[in-house]
Amino acid sequence: MNFVVQLSYLLAAVLFILGLKAMSSPRTARKGIMWAGAGMVLATLVTFLHPAVHGLTNYVLIVIAIATAGGLAWWSGRRVGMTEMPQMVALYNGMGGGAAAAIAAVEMLRALRTLPNDLQVRAEALAADADISVQAATAALRAEGAGSVGIAGALGADVAILAILGALIGTVAFSGSLIAWAKLDGRMKRSQLVPGQQIVNIVVFALAVLFGILTFFTDSALVVAVFFALGLLFGVFVAVPIGGADMPVIISLFNALTGLAVGFEGYAIGNPAMIIAGTVVGAAGTLLTQLMAKAMNRPLTNVLFAGWGSSEGASSEGPAGEMKDISAEDAGIMMAYAERVIIVPGYGMAVAQAQHKIWEFVELLQDRGVEVKFAIHPVAGRMPGHMNVLLAEAGVPYDMIFDMEDINEEFAMTDVAVVIGANDVVNPAARDDPSSPIYGMPILNVDEAENVMVIKRGGGAGFSGVENHLFYGENTRMVFGDGQKVAGGMVQAVKGL
């Protein structure tokens, strides 16, 4: 039976790897999700055959866990809106870290339970051999150091180290991801800095490491509990001050941490599917974190410790000048007579679900001979690849979609740059204003186009809370309204020509 279990884990791991590979392109991503999902179902169901699982209670517990978690995931997955996807991803990611930490907790508590028994057995044997009382034998063994070998003694040093590391990383990913979820879901303020935050973070981290070391040697459940509590606290303290435009970096960092924690705990319980899946997720998450940090032009240490991007530094002074608005119809007609148009989508396009109408509009422009391209900023929207997913859903061909570094120089030669629901990713303050909290973040240079049309409902700031001077530019026209309605108005105007 063990052979079947191990074979299933190997098969599940292969499915995870193939799934991830397929997810690297929007064309094959759907297939990738199905493969990885099938791997997960296999890895979960094979638990019933695991040699360590026996007794009715265990089977009933597994069924309850699968039914509750599967039911909740099915229900929430069906009703989640596209704009709520990022917070859902943060939540699921946190669950992965929490599950890894929970496995570590169970293993450690199991080790603690066997420690006294182990000592008891040895004391009884010594008492019989040396013809002394069991108490005296226990005392003698304790004096020699037995019973104080702690968790490492029961699990073995290598397993104990990985279980402890996995527990620390998993607890941080769990509580940090929950804070990220609360922020993305609007349940918590974007950035909250307490005085001396960095010192507090360093102290809590040092204490967590100290208790991790103590856990290695301990035979006290209290030490283990304090260690877990400190890990959870550190996750909260890392995530709470993150605000502004830094969220994508921290979310992908927690994703990487979850993968690592799962890999470590897989080693601790000898589960190859967890080791491989965890390593793959950890590696992919680390690469994504690097890409995101690069996209924001921010070293990871700055994101974690500098409190940059918090609304604290945001200038409270509004930009000088006035916004000039234009109707959707006039904007549409102007573009119909342009030669080159670049469309920059942002989070507001997802909110408005405007991608289908925008694509209809673009097809009308193309029929009139206008050259149209889409420009995607790496952190546009609320999760990596958010805009690519929306455009793919609307049927926009991939060869019309360009990454920031491939298209940025073309804005200067463009008649109209259309910004739909994007804000931070086109804010010139990031390029021109050293006092701005988002200074240094690469942006799409839409302001270099001959004309800029900004489609949004009002004149307010984006996710980072920083005012956008682009809206007041000489060459900028605001097209106020919901993205879908405005796109519909532009379609009607061009059809009427």
Distance in Å, CB of 291 to ligand NAP, minimum: 11
Residue 373, token pair as written in the block: 């391209």
The yes or no reply on residue 379 touching ligand NAP (CB under 6 A) is yes
Distance in Å, CB of 357 to ligand NAP, minimum: 11
In whole angstroms, what is the distance from residue 468 CA to residue 466 CA? Answer: 6
Stretch near ligand NAP under the rule CB under 6 A, chosen from 132-140, 192-200, 347-355, 408-416: 347-355
In whole angstroms, what is the distance from residue 52 CA to residue 388 CA? Answer: 44
Closer residue to ligand NAP (CB): 231 or 489:
489
- Closest by Cα among 303, 304, 316, 297 to 436: 316
Distance in Å, CB of 244 to ligand NAP, minimum: 7
The one among 107, 265, 424, 447 contacting ligand NAP by CB under 6 A: 424
The one among 357, 456, 469, 477 contacting ligand NAP by CB under 6 A: 456
Strand partners, 453: 418, 477
The yes or no reply on residue 452 touching ligand NAP (CB under 6 A) is no
The one among 172, 463, 478, 489 contacting ligand NAP by CB under 6 A: 463
For residues 229 to 248, the per-residue mask of contacts with ligand NAP, x marking binding by CB under 6 A and - elsewhere, is ----------------x-xx
Find the binding residues for ligand NAP in span 391-420 (CB under 6 A).
none
The one among 423, 436, 445, 476 contacting ligand NAP by CB under 6 A: 423
In whole angstroms, what is the distance from residue 192 CA to residue 206 CA? Answer: 22
Catalytic residue among 219, 246, 424, 447: 424
Residue 284, token pair as written in the block: 């992919």
Is residue 406 among the annotated active site residues? no
The yes or no reply on residue 347 touching ligand NAP (CB under 6 A) is yes
Stretch near ligand NAP under the rule CB under 6 A, chosen from 131-139, 315-323, 399-407, 455-463: 455-463
Closer residue to ligand NAP (CB): 249 or 268:
249
Q: Which residues neighbour 152 within 8 Å (Cβ) at sequence distance 6 or greater? A: 160, 161, 216, 217
Residue 307, token pair as written in the block: 């409190």
The one among 112, 383, 454, 487 contacting ligand NAP by CB under 6 A: 383
Distance in Å, CB of 386 to ligand NAP, minimum: 5
Closer residue to ligand NAP (CB): 118 or 482:
482
Closer residue to ligand NAP (CB): 233 or 354:
354
The one among 97, 285, 462, 489 contacting ligand NAP by CB under 6 A: 462
Q: Which residues neighbour 235 within 8 Å (Cβ) at sequence distance 6 or greater? A: 171, 172, 173, 174, 175, 176, 177, 179
The yes or no reply on residue 489 touching ligand NAP (CB under 6 A) is no
Pairing of strands 476-480, 451-456: parallel
- Closest by Cα among 377, 244, 232 to 302: 244
The yes or no reply on residue 183 touching ligand NAP (CB under 6 A) is no
Under the phi-then-psi rule, with left for phi > 0, alpha for psi from -120 to 50, and beta for the rest, what region is 469?
alpha
The one among 421, 442, 473, 488 contacting ligand NAP by CB under 6 A: 421
Distance in Å, CB of 472 to ligand NAP, minimum: 14
Query: Which residues are near ligand NAP by CB under 6 A?
Result: 86, 245, 247-248, 251, 346-348, 351-352, 379-384, 386, 421-425, 455-458, 460, 462-464, 482-483
- Catalytic residue numbers read 424
